[in-house]
Amino acid sequence: MLQTPYYLIDKSKLLRNMERIAAVRETSGAKALLALKCFATWSVFDFMRDYMDGTTSSSLNEVRLGHERFGKETHAYSVAYADYEIDEVVSHADKIIFNSIGQLQRFENQSSGITRGLRLNPGVSSSTFDLADPARPFSRLGEWDQKQVEPVMDLISGFMIHNNCENGDFSLFDRMLGEIEQKFGPLLKKAEWVSLGGGIHFTGDDYPVDLFAERLKRFSGEYGVQVYLEPGEASITRSTTLETTVLDTLYNGKNLVVVDSSIEAHLLDLLIYRENAKVHPNQGPYRAMVCGKSCLAGDIFGEFDFPNELKVGDRISFQDAAGYTMVKKNWFNGVQMPAIAIRELDGSLRTVREFGYADYEQSLS
């Protein structure tokens, strides 16, 4: 058994998502780009490459990683580019999508050799959490005024519109896309391609994939555009676990269990959005609050039910631990950073990355 903690990517579970993405691509004609902001563990890029069209990024480092490790189409996007990085960004990208007209005009000369696009903000989104809502008041994410965009259409050939956030409701997606068409229809008619971003949970159970593919195909035909999707979570959902070991047990009105991991350091998104981790099957007569080993009082994975009383040395496997985890892991408290391991299709396990003191030391000064 591998030393915990470690993230375990299961290729057989990843394959299910890849096949669903490939089916949507084939039926709808849309292209799919892996959103590196969600998942950038390049050791499985060779596996994912056969089912996807490339990557999309949010920074210089991500666009370079996508270009060098994934290949195929490489889209560059950032809320804002700095003068010192724009030339390198362009050197790694096939398309560059600017967040604002100001950035587009500022870097018009540097970006003239590749395809250019602009982010549009339709003012509606599926987010229920203000922190992640691109349509929140005073949002800086994209241009919203069609009249201001029209004069710069000669500088761009397409748009990116990202307003879905963990949206597993096709009817909501369909309704919001209709609002986008109503608001930006004249601009879309002038475009050659449109990215509808990520956050569409079309690889989830019971999602009406046929209706989704038909809607994408209809949108593409209506406006004469190549449609892009940017699946992040949808690409890797339920493919990965965070494997931990029980270090201590306590009782303070509840059964408390401390594991060799930390939600703040290893599953940070759950802490930010105040969500519990997932344990399967989460059934049994023994209920315990599972806690992280950092000094943060709220470093708590959640309360779960287990078939037996947990003891020191027992393993706990946290489910669905791929998205926004490995890209956000940190050295808070100097807690041991999880290794990254892969379960191959034949069931064999291999460790692809381990982290030690030198990594911790070199992350500082």
User: pLDDT per residue over 13-59, tens digit each?
Assistant: 999 999 999 999 999 999 999 999 999 999 999 999 999 999 999 99
CATH number of the domain that 307 lies in? 2.40.37.10
The per-residue DSSP string of 254-275 comes to SEEEEES--HHHHSHHHHHTT-
Q: Name the domain boundary from 235, 268, 294.
A: 235
Tokens of 98: 């600017």
Q: Name the domain boundary from 235, 257, 288.
A: 235
Same domain, 162 and 297: no
Mean of all residue pLDDT scores within the chain: 98
Number of domains within the chain: 2
φ, ψ (nearest 5 deg) of residue 149? -80, -35
- The reply to whether 269 sits in an annotated binding site is yes
Percent of the chain with pLDDT over 90: 99
Cα-only R_g, the chain? 22
Same domain, 190 and 267: no
Per-residue pLDDT, 1: 82
Same domain, 187 and 43: yes
Per-residue pLDDT, 256: 98
Same domain, 286 and 217: no
Per-residue pLDDT, 90: 98
Q: Name the domain boundary from 172, 207, 235.
A: 235
Confirm whether pTM is higher than 0.95: yes
Q: What is the mean pLDDT of residues 92-120?
A: 98
Alpha carbons within 13 angstroms on the beta-carbon side of residue 302 total 18
Checking if the pLDDT of 159 tops 90, the result is yes
Same domain, 317 and 334: yes
Q: What is the mean pLDDT of residues 314-341?
A: 98
Which tens digits make up the pLDDT trace of 162-220?
999 999 999 999 999 999 999 999 999 999 999 999 999 999 999 999 999 999 999 99
Rounded Cα–Cα distance for residues 100 and 89 (Å): 17
> Is the residue at 2 inside a domain?
no
> Is the residue at 82 inside a domain?
yes
> Is the residue at 6 inside a domain?
no
- The reply to whether 233 sits in an annotated binding site is yes
For residue 76, the cross-strand partners are: 96
> Is the residue at 135 inside a domain?
yes
Q: How far from the centroid of its chain's Cα atoms is residue 327's Cα? A: 9
CATH number of the domain that 91 lies in? 3.20.20.10
Same domain, 187 and 270: no
Domain that holds residue 269: 240-321+329-363
Alpha helices in the chain (DSSP H): 11-28, 45-48, 60-65, 86-92, 101-106, 146-149, 170-189, 209-223, 233-236, 263-266, 268-272, 357-362
Which tens digits make up the pLDDT trace of 221-250?
999 999 999 999 999 999 999 999 999 999
Same domain, 109 and 196: yes
Same domain, 71 and 202: yes
The per-residue DSSP string of 301-328 comes to EEEEEESS---TT-EEEEES--TTTTTT
What pLDDT band is residue 276 in, cutting at 50, 70 and 90? very high
Rounded Cα–Cα distance for residues 191 and 75 (Å): 17
Long-range contacts of 134-137 (CB under 8 A, 24+ apart): 134/162, 134/163, 134/165, 135/163
Per-residue pLDDT, 133: 96
Per-residue pLDDT, 330: 98
Checking if the pLDDT of 69 tops 90, the result is yes
Same domain, 89 and 204: yes
